Amino acid sequence: MKKLAKFSKLLVILCLLFAMTACSKASEESSAQGGQSQSAQGAQGAQGANAEPKLIRLAESFCYTSLDIHKDYYGWYTSIYGVSETLFRVADDMSIKPLLAKEYSVSEDGKTWTFQIADAMFSNKTPLTADMVSRNLQRAARENERFAYLASFTYATEGEKTLKITTPDIYPTMLSDLTAPELGIMDLDNTTDFDNAPVCTGPFVIKSFEPEGTVVVEKNAAYWNGEVKLDGAMFYYMQDDETKLNAMQAGDIDGYTSVTAAAKQILAADPASYVLTEIPATRLQFYVLNKNRLDDKVRQAVNLTVDLNSIADFLGGTVSPAVGPFSAAAPYGKVTKPAVDTAKAKSLLEEDGYVMGSDGYYAKNGETLTLSIGYYAARSLDSIAVLMQDQFKNVGIKAVLNVQEDPDSTYVATGEYDVALYCMIADKSGDPYYCCDALFRKGSKWALAGFANQKCEDLIDQLQYETDVNQRAKLANQIVQMSIDDNAFGYVGLFNKTTVTAKGVTGIAENCPFDFYGVSADTDVNK
Amino acid sequence: MIKYVGKRLLHLAWIMLAVSFLTFLLMYLTPGDAASKKLSAQGVAVSEEVLMQTRENMGLLRPFFIQYGDWMLHAMRFDLGVSFKDGFPVAEKLWKGLKNTAILMVVSILLSLLAAVPLAFLAALKKDSVFDHGIRLISFVGNSIPNFLISVLLIYFICVRAKLLPVVADKSVRGLILPCLALSIPIISRFVRQFRAEFLEQLGKPFVAGARARGVKEFYVLRDVFHNASINILTIVGLSVGTLLGGSVVIETIFRWPGLGKLAMDAITNRDYPVIQGFVLLTCAIYVTVNLITDISYHFIDPRLRER
């Protein structure tokens, strides 16, 4: 018994010691964060001794383990944090505006681009030079597989501020590519810790970075492009939608994006406290109809059956019904598609030899018309699959749902589907080529569904090298219209970017359709 | 005793080898790979050429046994490699996750024991009383409510309505309260039912009736009941460690607590084989070690085992 008592005491003491150690460690971390706040306050103190620091607290669904702009998608977040900037940026209306490059010109053969670098400087007050830009782009090519193509360009500088980039072929998407947040510019000579503290040109500088945790930024006192209204910002990593909603309601955060339909309802009920902003964004939900397994009339019947408005209603306004892959507001989003017509869908099936059976489904040669819908449970595709199944049932088409965790290595790779649901960013940075190339090319992963054809391929080739913006839009519209007319694709919805902010909070890119912008010099809090 | 411990540690090596192989095989056979997950993390489409190049860089195009053998050779030198997701050392990531999970786990188990042992003991002593029925009902409800619901309810009532604690908590003691409560409520409920059954079994044994018949003071009778029940209680606690190690992913996500559960879940989603393998080895080692410690502790608690 005595030994038991001794053992129990020892166990309790060990546990307490462990807990205390953990707590003291946590306290150290906590006080470190407190120090950051004080530091942010200190920055404010320079402006007014007794003034409250203007800080904003935001929740983010993602937080990576590194801030190295050129690697993976880390640059998206340094851009959201207002730390890094690119040569060009995409405006809210999807037009491309100069940022770190103040001017550009392109040679007659379309292969040499000349950029005049703006009179920008890094947060350490080092002026930005063309050489630094050139080295950044080359580093991105080395560090990021998606930008490896930049290594095939040649870079030359003239003086401090002129950069010439020569491409092997005509490269009309140069400006659009340079808006990619992964091509943000760092001071490569003076950044000593790329993972935790990149030195950049943005309106904010990293104060503290906790990998996959909280990120604290403070005002860049040396910002080159105007007055920064805020003293600092905190970004809390919150994956859970309920946690974000609760944090918003508790007043722990000042805003977040990707508000769910349920949260939107709750927050909209209190307009005195919250401002909801909703705009169609760039993430597209679509389906592919397998031409190798479905004949023309069945595909046409399917497209006449899918009611996008009722899907959008069901999804609580989190998506906007799509006509094509791009926003109808963009010049390359001007396409049309037939309205829902279930009577016509039925007559098409009957013309095709299908007969309505006693079970309420069409059948031909004794075989019920059954479609396999491949989908994965993300981005509301699971809801869409069920809604489509129900809509198909109403016209007499039976649908079997095939859910997979990884679409790319299952139904997309094998082509074993009649209808394949998918979601991707359709407009990466204000240009249609990337999407046309990814969806309609002969070598694309969707080619197994049988859409790719020479006419389309020729148009995409033209789009690849076309330099006139209006002509590019025209070509893109032609290509997308072909996919619609051929009943090869169905565009369901463009995800809305729904942002909630506390009253008085403005400028957190709530009107920008792209996901990779966040706080800026204009972000303000006036509660 | 040393021979016994040595034998168990030898078993541990075999278990770890088998588990690591099975895990590697299962992940290899699961559709999807780290390259495609990494490249499409933000929903951007990438070309087949870029995908294949990334696979090549990650060594994913090598045959299964080469990949596993390579990993195993490094693991035997205590080198768990780097994460496919971000290139950071796996050991570093696991250590960070383990520290956070251990804090959550130890505090939750202590809290659970502090609540469950007296409640179960009293419920067993007052069997079929109103108190007993009440405790059983509450523990039944507590055991039935899923973790995420408990978490959301706690946040709503404590943070949003009462504003006693912030939703955005750091890793301080204040930040520990809600996740520990959320984790402890189902554990307390389960422990109460299991401990009560154990106490009842001991109370029904002839030595209790005998002692009472001999006029032994009730305090000493109950002390012996408690002592005898403690072996099984220890087993239950030991087994729950394994559940807590990997099972707190929901709590870790909701409360932004970067522990092992969330690390493992993210690694599985991203097909981050080095991290998954490291996690499996670590949890396997912890689970076996905790059970070994539990078994060894029997020797201290039960003198009969010492004599064997």
Mean pLDDT to the nearest integer, A416-435: 93
Chain A environment of B159 (Cβ under 8 Å) = 246, 250, 252
CA distance B266 to B272: 8
B10 burial via Cβ count (<10 Å: 0-12, 13-18, 19+)? exposed
Instruction: Give the span between the Cα atoms of B76 and B71, in whole angstroms.
Output: 9
* B176 contacts in chain A (CB < 8 Å): 23, 26
> Most B CBs within 10 Å: which of A273, A408, A514, as the mutation test of the B interface?
A408
Q: How far is CA A349 from each of CA A345, A346, A395, A420, B238, rounded to the nearest angstrom?
A: 6, 5, 10, 20, 64
Of A165-169, A267-271, A445-449, the range with the lowest mean pLDDT is: A445-449
Cα–Cα distance, B259 to B276 (Å, whole number) = 14
- 3-state class of A350 per DSSP? helix
Helix residue ranges, H only, A441-497: 454-465, 469-485
Asked whether the beta carbons of residue A26 and residue B107 sit closer than 8 angstroms, the reply is no
Residue A55: which of A177, A246, A233 has the closest Cα?
Answer: A233
Query: Which residues in chain B have their CB less than 8 angstroms from residue A402's CB?
Result: none
Diameter of chain A measured on Cα atoms: 94
**Any B CB within 8 A of A270 CB:** no
Report the pLDDT value the prediction gives residue A453, as an integer from 0 to 100.
84
Helix, strand, or coil (residue A28) = helix
By C-alpha distance, the chain B residue nearest A148 is B50
Residue A479: C-alpha distances to residues A451, A490, B35 (Å): 12, 14, 30
Give the three-state DSSP class for A447.
helix
**Nearest CB to A249; choose among B53, B106, B160:** B160
Query: How much of chain A is in helix, strand and coil states, percent to nearest 5?
Result: 35, 25, 40
A366: Cβ contacts below 8 Å, ≥ 6 apart: none
Do B155 and B202 touch, CB atoms closer than 8 A?
A: no
Q: What is the CATH number of domain A57-273+503-525?
A: 3.40.190.10
Residue with tokens 């606690």: B237
Could you say which of B107, B159, B170 has the minimum Cβ distance to residue A29?
B170
Closest by CA to A486, choosing from A297, A333, A285, is A297
pLDDT digits (tens, 9 = 90+) for A370-393: 999 999 998 899 999 999 999 999
Q: Which pLDDT does position B307 carry in this prediction?
A: 60
A109-166 confidence digits (pLDDT tens): 999 999 999 999 999 999 999 999 999 999 999 999 999 999 999 999 999 999 999 9
Chain A residues inside the 8 Å CB shell of B86: 64-66, 72
Instruction: Kindly list the structural domains of chain B, giving each domain's residue range(s) and its CATH number in brackets, ordered by start.
Output: 13-75 (no CATH), 92-307 (1.10.3720.10)
Q: Is the model's pLDDT at A15 over the cut of 60? A: no
- Taking alpha carbons only, the member of B225, B297, B4, B223 closest to residue A3 is B297
CB pair distance less than 8 Å for A243 and B301: no
Whether A41 has a pLDDT exceeding 50, the answer reads no
Chain B interface disruption, residue of A29, A145, A194, A208, most B CBs within 10 A: A145
Q: Which among B44, B85, B102 is the nearest to A428, CB-wise?
A: B44
Segments in chain B below pLDDT 70? 246-247, 304-308
Residue A350 CB neighbour total at 10 angstroms: 15
A243–B46 CB contact, under 8 Å: no
* E strand or H helix that includes residue A449: none
- Distance CA(B198)–CA(B237), nearest Å, equals 13
A:B CB pairs within 8 Å: 145
- Comparing CB atoms, the residue among B47, B103, B255 nearest residue A22 is B103
Alpha carbon A358 to its chain's center? 47
- Put simply, the answer to whether B170 touches A30 (Cβ < 8 Å) is yes
Between chains, do A65 and B175 touch, taking CB under 8 Å as contact?
A: no
- pLDDT band at residue A369 under the 50/70/90 scheme: very high
Q: How far is it, in rounded angstroms, from Cα A519 to Cα A504? A: 15
Out of A15, A145, A246, name the one closest to residue B160 (CB).
A246
Separation of alpha carbons A274 and B199, rounded Å: 54
Note the pLDDT of residue B219: 92
Q: Give the separation between CA A439 and CA A426, rounded to whole angstroms.
A: 9
Instruction: Return the closest-CA partner of residue A145 out of B33, B54, B47.
Output: B54
* pLDDT above 70: residue A21: no
Distance CA A77, CA A200 (A): 13
Chain A, 413 to 442: residues with Cβ < 8 Å from chain B are 423-425, 428, 434-435, 437-439
**What residues in A contact B84, CB-CB < 8 Å?**
none
In sequence order, the β-bridge partners of residue A371 are A399
| A49: pLDDT strictly greater than 80 | no
| E strands, A118-261, in order | 154-158, 162-166, 204-209, 215-219, 232-237, 255-257
**pLDDT value of residue A493:** 94
More confident residue, A349 or B174: A349
Task: Give the per-residue pLDDT at B292.
Answer: 85
Nearest CA-CA distance, residue B42 and chain A, Å? 7
B48 CB neighbours in chain A (<8 A) are 443, 445
Q: Is the dihedral of CA B271, B272, B277, B282 positive or negative?
A: negative
Strand ranges, E, within A349-440 = 355-356, 362-364, 367-368, 370-375, 398-403, 419-425
Grade residue A40 by pLDDT with cuts at 50, 70 and 90: very low
- Chain B positions in Cβ-Cβ contact with residue A406 (cut-off 8 Å): 30-32, 36-37
Buried b vs exposed e over B242-279: b needs ≥16 C-beta within 10 Å? Answer: bebbbebbbbbbbbbbbbbbbbbbbbbebbbbbbbbbb
Tell me if A252 and B166 make a contact (CB, 8 A cut-off).
Answer: yes
**Is the model's pLDDT at A9 over the cut of 60?**
no
Task: Among A26, A148, A212, select the one facing B173 at the smallest CB separation.
Answer: A26
Measure the N-to-C terminal CA separation of chain B; round to a whole number of Å.
11
- List A residues 134-193 in contact with B (Cβ-Cβ < 8 A): 145-146, 148
| DSSP code of residue A146 | G
B103-143 pLDDT tens trace: 998 999 999 999 999 999 999 999 999 999 999 999 999 88
The type of residue at B256 is R
pLDDT at B308: 56
Determine contact, residues A163/A114, Cβ cutoff 8 Å: yes
Q: Is the pLDDT of residue A16 over 60?
A: no
Q: Do A369 and A378 contact (CB within 8 A), yes or no?
A: no
Query: Which residues between 45 and 74 in chain A have a beta carbon less than 8 angstroms from any beta carbon of chain B?
Result: 57, 64-66, 71-73
Q: Quick check: A145 and B39 CB within 8 A?
A: yes
| Residues of A (438-477) whose Cβ lies below 8 Å from B | 438-439, 443, 445
Radius of gyration of chain B (CA): 24
Integer angstrom CA distances of residue B202 from A288, A370, B128, B139: 66, 62, 16, 21
Task: Enter the ipTM.
Answer: 0.83
Q: HEC states along chain B?
A: CHHHHHHHHHHHHHHHHHHHHHHHHHHHHCCCCHHHHHHCCCCCCCCHHHHHHHHHHHCCCCCHHHHHHHHHHHHHCCCCCECCCCCCEHHHHHHHHHHHHHHHHHHHHHHHHHHHHHHHHHHHHCCCCHHHHHHHHHHHHHHHCCHHHHHHHHHHHHHHHCCCCCCCCCCCHHHHHHHHHHHHHHHHHHHHHHHHHHHHHHHCCHHHHHHHHCCCCHHHHHHHHHHHHHHHHHHHHHHHHHHHHHHCHHHHHHCCCCCHHHHHHHHHHCCCHHHHHHHHHHHHHHHHHHHHHHHHHHHHHCHHHHHC
Report the 10 Å Cβ neighbour count for B194: 19
Locate tokens 């860049």: which residue? A220
Instruction: Look up the CATH superfamily of A280-496.
Output: Dipeptide-binding Protein; Domain 3 (3.10.105.10)
Report CB contact under 8 Å: A246, B253: no
Q: Which DSSP symbol is given to A128?
A: P
A167-176, A396-405, B43-52, B241-250: range with lowest mean pLDDT: B241-250
CB contact under 8 A, B42 and A239: no
Q: What are the residue boundaries of the structural domains of chain A, listed by start? A: 57-273+503-525, 280-496
**B99:A22 CB<8 A:** yes
A23 contacts on B by Cβ (under 8 Å): 172-173, 176
Burial of B291 (0-12, 13-18, 19+ CB in 10 A): middle
Instruction: Report the amino acid identity of residue A261.
Output: A
Q: How many helices (H) and strands (E) does chain A have?
A: 14, 22
Which residues in chain A touch residue B50, judged by CB atoms under 8 angstroms apart?
Answer: 145-146, 148
Q: Work out the number of other CB atoms within 10 angstroms of the CB of residue A360.
A: 11
Q: Say whether B300 and A15 touch across the interface (CB within 8 A).
A: no
Distance (Å) from the alpha carbon of B238 to chain A's nearest alpha carbon: 13
Contacts of A146 in chain B (CB under 8 A): 39, 44, 46, 50
Minimum distance, in Å, between the CA of residue B21 and any CA atom of chain A: 23
The verdict on a CB contact (< 8 Å) between A405 and B32 is yes
What is the DSSP-derived secondary structure letter of residue A338? P
Rounded Cα gap, residues B36 and B25, in angstroms: 19
Cα gap B180→B106, rounded to integer Å: 9
Do B99 and A33 make contact, defined as CB atoms within 8 angstroms?
no
Positive or negative torsion for Cα A500, A502, A503, A509 = negative
pTM, entire model: 0.85
User: Per the CB < 8 Å rule, is B42 touching A425?
Assistant: yes
Cα of A368 to nearest chain B Cα, Å: 30
Query: Predicted confidence band at A6 (pLDDT cuts at 50, 70, 90)?
Result: low
User: Is the predicted pLDDT of residue A45 greater than 70, yes or no?
Assistant: no
**Mean pLDDT across chain A:** 90
Residues of A in contact with B53 (CB under 8 A): 145, 148
How far is Cα of residue A462 from the mean position of the Cα atoms in its chain? 27
Residue of A nearest to B53 (CA): A145
Residue with the two structure tokens 């964004």 = A281
Q: Using a CB-CB distance cutoff of 8 angstroms, which residues of chain A are in contact with residue B255?
A: 243
